[in-house]
Amino acid sequence: MERTFRLFGLPAGLYVDNGSPWGGGTPGHWTPLGVWLLKLGVRVIHARPYHPQGRGKNERFHRTLKAEVLALTALRDCAQAQAAFDSWRPLYNAVRPHQALGLATPASRYRPSPRRLPDRLQEPHYEPGEIVRRVSTSGCCVSFNGRLWKLPKAFRGEPVALRPTDRDGRYRVCFGATHIATIDLNHTQNDHQ
């Protein structure tokens, strides 16, 4: 992904399924890849589980790939498969008209992102006076109000802010602007969001 982002810039978001390595789209299910994308300002948008029609463009692409490449030749190994994909890609993107694009080609509609991949990831910014804790690297916890609170493992070593809510004793745990968990001082366990 780094190579792609360096060549074409950062997308605003990625529309993904709910499998690995994306994080499942369930509350509290973060992966290191999801956190890395969050740091880059790339939203990970999860499709509704068990509804492949929500990813119709992806499904249609795979149907075309299967019909125009995979069904025509028995591929012996990864190198032969890569060569077949490499020769098909310009045809798919720049030559073959697409009905969904009014018979235009994807290359005619594509514009690279002006957002560049930074050389170094920035830590999230927190306002002065906010309660900021660094997630432990061993137990994936933060210490707050005399107790340890477990957070998603993907945030190991990362700084998070604990922001009070309008409900007494409840705090939103945020990585930058993203709500990742809730601490409720009235309960013994926190909820991942």
HEC states along 101-131? HCCECHHHHCCCCCCCCCCCCCCCCCCCCCE
Query: According to CATH, where is 3.30.420.10 located in the chain?
Result: 2-109
| pTM score of the predicted model | 0.80
Q: Of 42, 44, 15, 175, nearest to 118 (Cα)?
A: 42
For all residues of the chain together, what is the average pLDDT? 89
Q: Which residues contact 20 (CB under 8 A, 6 or more apart)?
A: 31
CA distance 103 to 106: 9
The torsion angles phi and psi of 144, rounded to 5 degrees, stand at: -155, 130
pLDDT digits (tens, 9 = 90+) for 15-53: 887 777 887 656 568 889 999 999 999 988 888 777 777
Predicted pLDDT of residue 174: 96
Fold (CATH) for 2-109: Nucleotidyltransferase; domain 5 (3.30.420)
Q: How many CB atoms lie within 10 A of CB 191?
A: 13
CA distance 25 to 41: 17
In which residue are the tokens 């045809």 written?
91
CA distances from 138 to 42, 70, 89, 105, 157 (A): 27, 45, 44, 50, 9
pLDDT at 183 over 60: yes
Helix, strand or coil for residue 178?
strand
